Amino acid sequence: MGLTITEKILAAHAGREAVRPGEIVSVKIDLALANDITGPVAIKEFYGMGAEKVFDRERVVLVPDHFVPNKDIKSAEQAKILRTFAREQHLTHYYEVGEMGIEHALLPEEGLALPGQVIIGADSHTCTYGGLGAFATGVGSTDLAAAWALGEIWFKVPETIRFVYRGRPAPYVGAKDLILYTIGQIGVDGALYKAMEFSGEVIDNLSVDGRLTLCNMAVEAGAKNGIIAPDETTLAYVNARAKWPFKVYRSDPDASYAAVYEFDVTGLEPQVAAPHLPSNVHGVRELAGVKIDQVVIGSCTNGRLEDLRVAAQILKGRRVHPETRLIVIPATQAVYLTALREGLIEIFLSAGAVVSTPTCGPCLGGYMGILAAGERCLATTNRNFVGRMGHPTSEVYLAGPAVAAATAVSGHIAHPADV
């Protein structure tokens, strides 16, 4: 019996010919990352266990991105802990203000996240890198500390669910709509501790930006990881920036799957997840007319260049509704700079949006857009739990950048074609 791509990567990093779902394996890691929230905890545990040096100073990545630039004294102290550790350990990949970005957009851009790797991060959306064909998953800060010291970590090999997407997506339907639709079909625990393997002609036609978006929200279905087999699109992206050699893995034709879902997305309209679960998914016109106080375009899910271009196409020559606030957050400095050169930032500002430096910001209720009691936000972020973006009585709706831009102009949830 053949192996899935996830099983092949874990087997290779465990020094074995094969692994099977349910086995406990110890695997070598290629990359271990943390941010300004989870990193300080890992650093404390690292020194607390008696460790002195990280296993490889080039393979430990620190990205302060949640509260940076610092919003208060506490967040400044958190960032300082990362900065000090990076200097003590002589880390190659520490990203300071001015060069940092949202970690899950920055690492692929920098050529650090690559096909075939095992990547762990003390952040649940580490699964994003599966869009490049890596096994990538979030871990706790204590596990990360141990991995920093040892260069390895143990996993239970997950079963794999295969998702096949066929058909021709309608205009304005992108990767965010595909993953929201999928979560709506299987639920927030529909892939609990499973690998979500995405395939089919619709996936083949996605850009790298779209593939990263798709895998980013695998954790919202409870998955251990999301993954897409590398192809020519992937290789064109990574070959231009890879910091290290890498190996491409693909599932065997006779690989075993826990389940297979096939979706024909022809005719699918843009999707919106209503409060308070990413699985509470509806077609956009079912929710049309719901008044929105704030729109956020950004995050590790949809703050990439492709997302900003989609939003700008809709916002060009239009104004944000006078009763709605629009916050645009480019995911990295490079995305910001390219958007500036392409005139996208001018479009956003002319429309009445505010454009932020790269940061996670409002996604986790951090800063740069906290909601007051009773306010509603439509965001291109990944979670809409109670109180996620501010006051417990506020509400968050999730959508892609096209719906977000249309909503900002309309002042209520709207289909982009209706603007």
Is residue 283 pLDDT above 90, yes or no?
A: yes
223 and 127 Cβ atoms separated by less than 8 Å: yes
pLDDT of 243 reads 94
Highest CATH level, class, for 272-418: alpha beta
CATH H superfamily, domain 5-262: Aconitase, domain 3 (3.30.499.10)
Least confident range from 81-85, 162-166, 177-181, 386-390: namely: 386-390
**pLDDT tens-digit profile of 349-362?**
999 999 999 999 99
What mean pLDDT is predicted for residues 238-251?
96
What mean pLDDT is predicted for residues 237-259?
96
Q: Chain-wide mean pLDDT for the chain?
A: 96
Is residue 1 pLDDT above 90, yes or no?
A: no
**pLDDT tens-digit profile of 298-319?**
999 999 999 999 999 999 999 9
Do the domains at 5-262 and 272-418 have one common CATH topology?
Answer: yes
Q: Considering the chain, what percentage of its residues have pLDDT values greater than 70? A: 100
pLDDT of 70 reads 92
Q: State the pTM of this model.
A: 0.95
pLDDT of 121 reads 97
The two three-digit tokens of residue 199, written as one number: 């395939």
What mean pLDDT is predicted for residues 225-241?
97
What mean pLDDT is predicted for residues 275-295?
96
Candidates 255, 253, 248, 254; CA nearest to 233 is: 248
Residue with tokens 């650093």: 43
Q: Considering the chain, what percentage of its residues have pLDDT values greater than 90? A: 98
pLDDT of 271 reads 98
pLDDT of 75 reads 93
How, if at all, do strands 376-379 and 225-227 pair?
Answer: unpaired
Task: Characterise 130 by phi-psi region: left (phi > 0), alpha (psi -120 to 50), beta (else).
Answer: alpha
Predicted confidence band at 25 (pLDDT cuts at 50, 70, 90)? Answer: very high
Predicted confidence band at 108 (pLDDT cuts at 50, 70, 90)? Answer: very high
pLDDT of 265 reads 96
**pLDDT tens-digit profile of 378-391?**
999 999 998 999 99
Domain ranges of the chain: 5-262, 272-418
